[in-house]
Amino acid sequence: MHIAEGFLPPLHAVGWTVAAAPFVVHGARAVVKEVREHPENTLLLGAAGAFTFVLSAIKLPSVTGSSSHPTGTGAGAVLFRPPVMALLGTVVLLFQALLLAHGGLTTLGANAFSMAIVGPWAGYGAYRLTRSLGGGLLPGVFVAMLVADLATYVTTALQLALAFPDADSGFAGAAVKFLGVFAVTQIPLAVGEGLLGVLLFRVLTTNARPELERLGLLPPAPAQEEVR
Amino acid sequence: MSRRRLVTVLLVLAVVALFAVPLLMDGGSSDFTGTDNQAVTAIQESDPGYEPWFTSVLPPLSPSVESGLFALQAALGGGVLGYVIGRLRGRRSSTPAPEPAEQP
């Protein structure tokens, strides 16, 4: 989902930067507020950021014969709500743009919009929906990770279609083309990411139960009982 | 093996299989190009006149240096994640039965 440096026309680059900026600023304030008011959650906040850091560094092969990387933003969105991920995801993208020449500064706004804003919000929405339908924490996490990953790549495809509409078939034709590049490849990765999220939260439910209860992810339960 | 441990093992195996199967099925016919690069190719095909108007602040890296930096990113993230989980685990085992709640 990293649109390469310089590969969005200036107007689009500026537009996406302007669109993403308020979310990132709001996210930065959310992170500061979280750390200040709940210093006991700082460890978990670090875990959420680290999870995205690892997953977005790893390119994985897919059934389409191409490779792509997961985003890992769903976990933090479930734990701390999406605004926090707007900052953490953008930090990851900035690191990659500056040090890895992956993505870029001119496309940072667009990439942040897809990976750090749309992805976390879509994943969080899917999580809330799952929970309100009676799903447990782990099914909710699986759906959140999967949807956050897919939504990120769909957004990137649409951003590129908007910037490079097809000569004959316009935006729709270009959208089909870019979705063909991104979306199908991403499906097995999104499933894999969902499973990794479940693994992470299985560790957290046993080892960080007080935090999860405080964040409202688990109901306060007798201390001895373990979630299976 | 407890049921909980079995589930963990199955989850890990499922993740590994999910990414190993495409590699094995493929048999070396495709080169697993990154989708980010494919998107660049698609842009250049549909709009051959497009010139990137800004280049990366970093000079182009050799692929081996680049993969090393990606490994560094993963290592940093993995290190922090491992540290946090280790601390949480240590805290849990060092406080047996965390305050059994004041009973009336």
A28 phi and psi angles, rounded to 5 deg:
-60, -40
Q: Which pLDDT score, from 0 to 100, does residue B99 have?
A: 54
Give the type of residue at A124.
Answer: Y
Q: Compute the distance between CA of residue A126 and CA of residue A114 in angstroms, rounded to an integer.
A: 16
Look-up of token digits 């842009």: B43
Q: Identify whether A113 is part of a domain.
A: yes
Greater confidence (A92 vs B48) lies with: A92
User: Among all chains, which residue has been given the structure tokens 């701390």?
Assistant: A80
pLDDT-derived band at B92 (thresholds 50, 70, 90) equals: confident
For residue A223, tell me if it sits in a domain.
no
> Is the residue at A219 inside a domain?
no
Mean pLDDT of B62-79: 88
Distance set, CA A50 to CA A56, A92, A183, B5 (Å): 10, 9, 25, 24
pLDDT, average across residues B6-13: 94
Give the tokens for residue A185. 């490849």
- For residue A8, which residues of chain B lie inside 8 Å, CB to CB? none
Question: Is the pLDDT at A107 greater than 60, yes or no?
Answer: yes
Q: From the list A167, A192, A204, which residue is nearest B15 (CB)?
A: A192
Residue A37: exposure state from Cβ atoms within 10 A (0-12, 13-18, ≥19) = exposed
**A43/B84 touch (CB, cutoff 8 Å), yes or no:** yes
**A226 φψ region: left (φ > 0), alpha (ψ -120 to 50), beta (else):** beta
Of all residues in chain A, what percent are helix, strand and coil, respectively (each to 5)?
75, 5, 25
Which of B19, B53, B87 is the closest to A192 by Cβ?
A: B19
Give the start-end residues of each E strand in chain A.
Answer: 60-61, 66-68
Test A207 with B60 for CB contact under 8 angstroms: no
* pLDDT for the residue numbered A41: 92
**pLDDT tens, residue by residue, B19-57:** 988 888 877 777 888 888 899 899 988 888 888 888 877
Nearest CA in chain B to A188: B18
What percentage of chain B's residues is helix, strand, coil (to nearest 5)? 65, 0, 35
Look at residue A226 and tell me whether its pLDDT is greater than 70: no
> Residues 157 to 196 of A: which have CB under 8 A from any B CB?
160, 164, 166-167, 174, 177-178, 181-182, 185-186, 188, 191-192, 195-196
Tell me whether residues B38 and A181 touch, CB distance under 8 A. yes
Binary contact (B22, A98; C-beta < 8 A): no
Higher-confidence residue of A61 and B97: namely A61
Chain B CB contacts of A201 under 8 Å are: none
DSSP one-letter code for A39: G
Question: Does residue A227 lie within any of the structural domains?
Answer: no
Which among B39, B58, B78 is the nearest to A101, CB-wise? B58
Local structure of residue A164 (DSSP, 8 states) = S
Pick from B19, B43, B61: which is nearest to A160 by CB?
B43
pLDDT at A120: 97
Preferred mutation among A52, A66, A160 to probe B, highest tally of B CBs within 10 A? A66
CB A110 within 8 A of CB A12: yes
Task: Please classify residue A94 by burial: count the beta carbons closer than 10 Å to its beta carbon, then call 0-12 exposed, 13-18 middle and 19+ buried.
Answer: middle
Higher pLDDT among residues A63 and B81, named by residue: B81
A1, part of any domain: no
Query: pLDDT tens digits, residue range A114-131?
Result: 999 999 999 999 999 999
A154 to chain B: which residues are within 8 Å by CB? none
Residue A118 and residue A155 in contact, taking contact as beta carbons nearer than 8 Å: yes
pLDDT digits (tens, 9 = 90+) for A24-60: 999 999 999 999 999 999 999 999 999 999 999 998 9
Residue B84 and residue A50: Cβ atoms within 8 Å? yes
**Residues in chain B closer than 8 A to A43 (CB atoms):** 84, 87-88
Q: CATH number of the domain that A144 lies in?
A: 1.10.1760.20
Min distance A25 CA to chain B CA atoms (Å): 23
Q: How many domains does chain A have?
A: 1
- Indicate if the pLDDT at residue B97 is higher than 70: no
Residue A48 to residue A76: CA distance in whole angstroms? 5
| Number of CB pairs, chain A paired with chain B, less than 8 A apart | 189
What range does the domain containing A162 cover?
10-214
User: Is position A221 within any domain?
Assistant: no
Q: What is the pLDDT of residue A3?
A: 94
Nearest CA in chain B to A227: B4
Instruction: Please report the residues numbered 77 through 116 in chain A whose beta carbons come closer than 8 angstroms to any beta carbon of chain B.
Output: 95-102, 104-106
pLDDT at residue B103 in the model: 55
Residue of B84 and B103 predicted with greater confidence: B84
How large is the average pLDDT for residues B46-72? Answer: 83
Nearest CA-CA partner of A152 in A196, A105, A119: A119
pLDDT of residue A51: 95
